[in-house]
A and B are shown apart, each in its own frame.
Chain A
């Protein structure tokens, strides 16, 4: 009795899942397979013939200095994004929800911090281009007041990644902050009150109560910071540096775009896309291996 009902239930479950699974297969996995297929060819998108080249696209990529440089850039970028869009909003969310009692001040800060999220990345890029202008921009004027000479932000490898990631930081900070605030507000008051009764310091409350209680949300913000952040980078990179100076600001997402739609070498671009996918898979594996276990799900 029980047995048969669970079986028909299983079939029915598959039936219910089917539309979603179909959409997923058609729009997510089919392009992935096509991309894998394309990565074995040399093709410029308009030529009627696609030339089969086997693994040569991958061989060229692994043999080039470019690939190492791009992986390095992507690593630096991820660290910076985590600082600007994960650690900073985490700290700010704690301060805003637990340490500032004044409701009006809280609301004011929330909207001030959220405002940049509503501005398009293209506009933000142009604003920052002006801010960082080494001769006439506000940043250079501030540095000058301290007797320092402004560096060429978008022309020094290393600095350029920092300059571009501040644009993403400015843009994505507010949204992540709101999400984290929502998580922190929902931490039960009585836990915090109880801790306070036992004279726990703010730091102890943060570490022993807030961090474990908000860990599911934190994990979500952590993940989108990396996955979305890398994709956001396409806009300022394409507008301000085109991957320059000398590939100094290119990353594993931008290089896919550059090979496909700037150089029209779709095979190599597809190969880069597969490698990009591999980078994401490795990241998700590491996340599952080390972080998911520590997350505390209340229910």
Chain B
């Protein structure tokens, strides 16, 4: 009896699908207006996912002729790039995607994208949208070496130093005066370890090299250099080794933590680590999940050397081929980059907005004024540099070698100088 009912229901379902399918196709012919585009993003539920949904809903409501579908890609930009590559191989590309800054060169060399400058030129109302609304150093974040604008910066994040004020107090340190230099970080970490028994410091260990790049470049090192027109590894310098060795030494004497990224964050949020160096993009999540008051300080410097923080986050790229879809994608990009939408996005994630003048007036200014942690991050915006991005089809493999060497150095298997030299040789072979 029961299975008959189920069968009947299933049959009815299949039939109605068929009917709807036909109805849909004839309907679109007569209406002939609604352009459907796909938006790929990396915002998980705990990282701005709700905001993406809200923004897409609002756009769809205010643009009756366009329908945007948002699609979440797990595993951050690496995951999205992998999915994108697989989708393009099967000829089903999305229209607008969030692309990580470190994949800039890889995307330029390997993916067929649509030039945003061309789209802007076709837009009679907003021919100079890019120039009018973004500072040149921000636009440069999504440009290749030879100045090609392959996308439009959307989310900007910088590494900051989060501290646990409770542990600082317990260790007799001043929580209102977080470490400003890496020497001070090292000393504070040792004090926390000695006085409270907890680990003092953790630097993010995501499947990328972003925070470590900030450390190396702030000490005067570099990730990549150009030799006779060819890109070569540059992280085998004494400056880079010295910066990395600082981390390894902290791990060795127990004041620093070497763990998977999730473990490190879990430990910080449950009050077992004094300081964490990671992206301002985690701010909203940390502030919500910690059982203490999360305090963020600007990325520390090396005594007497300028601070250099690579821009993390993503820029928007367009992959539409059909002119109608291209137009719709451009409308959607302009909407996402509007003052109003960016404020919502920043509030939902903790990212900093790339658009000119948002810290001077408007809704976002109110958000900044009420949150000191955002101010700490914003204060390092003048120190922005480009996230090192490996060119060529071995770029992804080269990135992995940097992740591998981090484990070698932090586990104390080899001194930083030696490990970095070996890895530089391997990377040069790939480039």
User: Residues of A with Cβ closer than 8 Å to B?
Assistant: 44-47, 129-130, 132-137, 152, 154-157, 240-242, 244-248, 261-265
Contacts and interface: CB of A to CB of B under 8 A. Distances in A.
Contacts of B400: 262-263
Contacts of B272: 135-136
Nearest to B106: A264
B124 to A, nearest CB: 34
A1 B52 CA distance: 78
Contact of A46 (B88, B270, B273, B394): B88
Contacts of B65: none
B85 interface: yes
A192 to B, nearest CB: 44
Nearest to B263: A133
19 contacts: A44-B393, A46-B89, A133-B267, A135-B198, A136-B267, A155-B259, A157-B411, A242-B207, A242-B403, A244-B404, A245-B411, A246-B408, A262-B396, A262-B400, A263-B394, A263-B400, A264-B82, A264-B85, A265-B397
Given A135-B272, A261-B86, A265-B397, A240 B260 contact: yes
A44 B85 contact: yes
Nearest to A134: B259
A132 to B, nearest CB: 8
Nearest to A45: B89
Contacts of A248: 407
Given A129-B262, A242-B403, A244-B404, 8 more contacts: A134-B267, A135-B198, A135-B263, A135-B272, A136-B272, A155-B260, A263-B394, A264-B85
Given A241-B260, A247-B404, A262 B82 contact: yes
B327 interface: no
B257 interface: yes
Given A244-B404, A262-B400, A129 B260 contact: yes
B130 to A, nearest CB: 27
Nearest to B395: A263
Interface residues on B, range: 35 or more
Contacts of B257: 134-135
B78 interface: yes
B199 A135 contact: yes
B94 to A, nearest CB: 14
B396 A263 contact: yes
Nearest to B202: A135
B266 interface: yes
B60 interface: no
A268 to B, nearest CB: 9
B82 A46 contact: no
A210 to B, nearest CB: 42
A47 B85 CA distance: 10
Contacts of A44: 85, 110, 393
B264 to A, nearest CB: 9
Contacts, number: 88
A261 B82 contact: yes
Interface in B353-410: 393-394, 396-397, 400, 403-405, 407-408, 410
B78 A262 contact: yes
Nearest to A245: B407
A180 B411 CA distance: 42
A247 B263 CA distance: 19
A136 B94 CA distance: 41
B258 interface: yes
B412 to A, nearest CB: 11
Contacts of A46: 85, 88-89, 110-111
Nearest to A242: B207
Nearest to A126: B262
A44 B111 CA distance: 11
Contact of B407 (A134, A240, A246, A263): A246
A141 B277 CA distance: 25
Contacts of B86: 45, 261
Nearest to A132: B263
Contacts of B262: 129
A1 B111 CA distance: 69
Nearest to A238: B75
A244 B270 CA distance: 25
Nearest to A240: B260
B85 A45 contact: yes
B266 A133 contact: yes
Given A129-B263, A135-B272, A155-B260, A244 B89 contact: no
Interface string B67-108: 000000000001000100110110000000000000000000
A133 B265 CA distance: 10
A132 B260 CA distance: 11
Contacts of B111: 46
Contacts of B404: 244-247
A132 B110 CA distance: 39
B389 to A, nearest CB: 16
Interface in B246-293: 257-260, 262-263, 266-267, 270, 272-273
Contacts of A245: 404, 407-408, 411
B270 A136 contact: yes
Contact of A263 (B89, B260, B267, B397): B397
Contacts of B78: 262
A134 B408 contact: no
B396 A264 contact: yes
A60 B262 CA distance: 34
A249 B395 CA distance: 22
A244 B82 CA distance: 19
Contacts of B403: 242, 244
A162 to B, nearest CB: 16
A155 B85 contact: no
Contact of A156 (B88, B263, B393, B411): B411
B149 to A, nearest CB: 22
